[in-house]
Structure 1
Amino acid sequence: MMKKKVAIIGGGQIAENVHVAHYKTRDELEIVAVCGVNEESVKSFAERNGIPNYYTDAAEMYSIEKPDIVSVCTPNLFHFENVMQALENDCDVFCEKPPAIKADDARVMYETAIAKGKVLAYDFHHRFADDVTILKEKVDEGMLGDIYFVKVKALRRNGIPGWGSFTNKEIQGGGPLIDLGIHMLDAALYILGYPNIKKVTAKMFQKIGNKKSEGSFGKWDPTKFGVEDSLFSHIELENGSLLQLETSFALNIKEKSEMNVEFCGDQAGAIMFPAEIYTDEKGELVSLLKRETADSDRHSKSMSAFVNRCLGKNVMLADGKQGYAIQQLVEAIYQSAEKGESVTL
């Protein structure tokens, strides 16, 4: 079988430690090129990872290499143009989250992938954990009954990234919501079957990142801190259920980090990591399912699912349609927080 040719767009940590690392484990694939804006950096990336060719011009790369698969690992602002260019060159595309900065861009990406008959997937890797697979199965079986309240947490006490462009609103589109919260929202919505959203109400704050300059993820310039450092939202579903979202880069909480989702149904409750299902009988907590440790092998399972779909296997993906849906939600949350009023979807 002829190997599929893979190209990497963007030469950062996620490209090297996740995308390239996984592609190298697949005998069906061959990484032929990496493309980035800085020649010295992209050349070094290629040499470190044994990639034969490097480019600073994506059009030239597509013309010469003609890849079958493209990974987009650029800052958020450039996701749209890079995904569209890959699709227009008849490539299957795996893009880091978020899909884009604007919901309309995510819609165009989704529609283009459908029209081209190409795979478009996003690296919402938490949904690929065994814990999520187990909970999804039990929820679909009805073990929790009617789930009417969900609490989504993606919190850091002082974890503002001191590298890259994470504090630049123009390039990133926002702070913890679009970087962290979107991950846990996707996992929660996936378990619920990606239900329709009715209305969102949100409030965001910039209270710490513009004052402090160092945390557990390095140093940053507080005078250039342009994103929210915490955001809170109520999300009403069309079926009457409620999601409560809490997300932060910096927030004076006790725990260093909280990344989890809690589900409350009329028959039982559950927590995502590690997966646990429980109920109450006469005032006593009864465990119905309990994993001792959470599955940490999420990135590779997300990557594997994408590659398998490219090879023709019918596997679950965080696809273009769901990418568009969650981008609409994120955009509405930011709009509500900025306007100070609820936003109806």
Structure 2
Amino acid sequence: MKKVAIIGAGQVAEKVHAAYYLTRTADLELVAVVDPDEKRGADFATQNGFARSYVDAGTMFATEKPDLVSICTPNRFHFDNVMTALRHGAAVMCEKPPAMTANEARMMRDFAAEKGLTLAYDFHHRFATDMTEVKRAYLDGVLGEVYVTKAKALRRSGVPGWGSFTNKALQGGGPLIDIGIHMLDAAMYVLDFPKVKKVTAKMFQKIGTKKSEGTFGTWDPTKYDVEDAVFAFIEFENGGLLELETSFVLQMKDKAVLNVEFFGDEAGATLFPAEVYTDQAGELVTLLKRDVADEERHVKSMEAFVNRALGADVMVADAEQGYQIQRLIEAIYESAEKGESVYL
């Protein structure tokens, strides 16, 4: 039996991490949860089948010696908790983003490699069946040369009304680092992480400081210090272009858009649900189509992490890829803040 602990007793910890670990009690022992709020941690442990709760991670590691650890804290605390877990010999599943800076993500990657431990990030969208089918089409050459990719994670009125999502000091940013990062990873994963040449971006804060209510609840506009929306162009060394659009609030027609489009010289594709198509004499011909997008992404992501930590040779969103994504996020914010392109 391998021992499992969770650091951070919030919503994602309960609905994703604890929910999956509870399905693996035949080979996993749920030993502890850590949260600075003693009551919240104790309640979480009781409600989700964990034996004990702690307010201090160091005490938990010294006492429980877990083999697998999930990091579900606000983004600002990812780095310290991941490094502590690795230092104590635990495999780690960390919520996105990897860290607050690219340098932190690089240090996490290097330390995991030094310790010979699994460090994975919960970029769960890449585990959808849709993703597998589109990536196969890309690798098999069905799309030909993909020269433009458009990734969108847009909400018309979707500021999270809970947690610390509007607090830049705790989160590092707004929609880019919360939802845009998922579609950025999805696009980069399908494209096999091509080398980046240049990043150009623009971000806006126009609505979140005026409004106070949306689809996901209410927030205090006087404490809203993240961006409303980000628009970025990522140029690859191979000549390809990736456009990324992401927003919490944006005066758009659709309530939300979460998808990636690939434009190749032989065919095009969209991810959610998966569809591959081409033009023949002016008529659209569908080469592959799923009617409904795969919704088991979180489960498959957690399953891959646990199985990888137990020795299986399976794909995870690993530490190197996490670093590459964090590096792009940092470059996008840097370009938007400076008003100029950033070369990598």
Shorter-chain TM-score bucket reads over 0.9
How far off its partner does 1:51 sit?
1.3
Report the equivalent of 1:252.
251
Taking the aligned partners of 2:44 and 2:20, their CA distance within structure 1 comes to 16
Letter paired with 1:154 = A
Taking the aligned partners of 1:195 and 1:15, their CA distance within structure 2 comes to 32
Report the equivalent of 2:182.
183
Letter paired with 1:216 = T
Asked whether 1:310 is paired with 2:309, we answer yes
Q: Does the Cα contact within 8 Å between 2:153 and 2:257 map onto a contact in 1?
A: yes
Report the equivalent of 2:191.
192
How far off its partner does 1:24 sit?
1.0
Give the stretch that moved more between structures: 42-51 or 231-240: 42-51
Q: Does the Cα contact within 8 Å between 1:152 and 1:184 map onto a contact in 2?
A: yes
How far off its partner does 1:33 sit?
0.3
Which residues of structure 2 form unaligned runs of 5+?
none
**RMSD, aligned CA:** 0.5
Taking the aligned partners of 1:51 and 1:316, their CA distance within structure 2 comes to 27
Report the equivalent of 2:20.
22
Letter paired with 2:42 = K
Q: Does the Cα contact within 8 Å between 2:22 and 2:49 map onto a contact in 1?
A: no
Q: What TM-score do you get using the length of structure 2 for normalisation?
A: 0.99
Q: Deviations for 1:237-261, whole angstroms, at most 9, x for unmatched residues?
A: 1110000111000001111110000
Q: Does the Cα contact within 8 Å between 1:24 and 1:30 map onto a contact in 2?
A: no
Report the equivalent of 1:234.
233
Asked whether 1:79 is paired with 2:78, we answer yes
Q: Superposition pairs for residues 325-344 of structure 1, below 5 Å?
A: 325-344=324-343
Report SS of the residue matched to 1:337. helix
Report SS of the residue matched to 1:113. helix
Q: Deviations for 1:14-71, whole angstroms, at most 9, x for unmatched residues?
A: 0011101101111211110000111111111111112111100111101110000000
How far off its partner does 1:95 sit?
0.2
Q: Following superposition, which runs of at least 4 residues in structure 1 exceed 2 angstroms of deviation?
A: none
Which residues of structure 1 form unaligned runs of 5+?
none
Taking the aligned partners of 2:22 and 2:32, their CA distance within structure 1 comes to 13
Letter paired with 1:5 = K
> How many matched pairs?
343
Letter paired with 1:224 = K
Asked whether 1:143 is paired with 2:105, we answer no
Q: Superposition pairs for residues 1-345 of structure 1, below 5 Å?
A: 3-26=1-24, 27-345=26-344
Report SS of the residue matched to 1:25. helix
Taking the aligned partners of 1:238 and 1:36, their CA distance within structure 2 comes to 44
Q: What TM-score do you get using the length of structure 1 for normalisation?
A: 0.99
Q: Deviations for 1:109-137, whole angstroms, at most 9, x for unmatched residues?
A: 00000000000000000000000001111
Letter paired with 1:221 = D
Taking the aligned partners of 1:262 and 1:103, their CA distance within structure 2 comes to 27
Taking the aligned partners of 1:52 and 1:179, their CA distance within structure 2 comes to 31
Taking the aligned partners of 1:177 and 1:137, their CA distance within structure 2 comes to 27
Taking the aligned partners of 2:234 and 2:16, their CA distance within structure 1 comes to 32
Taking the aligned partners of 1:303 and 1:40, their CA distance within structure 2 comes to 26
Q: Deviations for 1:163-192, whole angstroms, at most 9, x for unmatched residues?
A: 110000010000000001100010110000
Letter paired with 1:12 = G
Q: Does the Cα contact within 8 Å between 2:198 and 2:234 map onto a contact in 1?
A: yes
Report SS of the residue matched to 2:23. coil
| Identity rate, percent | 64
Taking the aligned partners of 1:6 and 1:294, their CA distance within structure 2 comes to 31
Taking the aligned partners of 2:259 and 2:323, their CA distance within structure 1 comes to 23
Q: Does the Cα contact within 8 Å between 1:274 and 1:291 map onto a contact in 2?
A: yes
Letter paired with 1:114 = A
Report SS of the residue matched to 1:78. helix
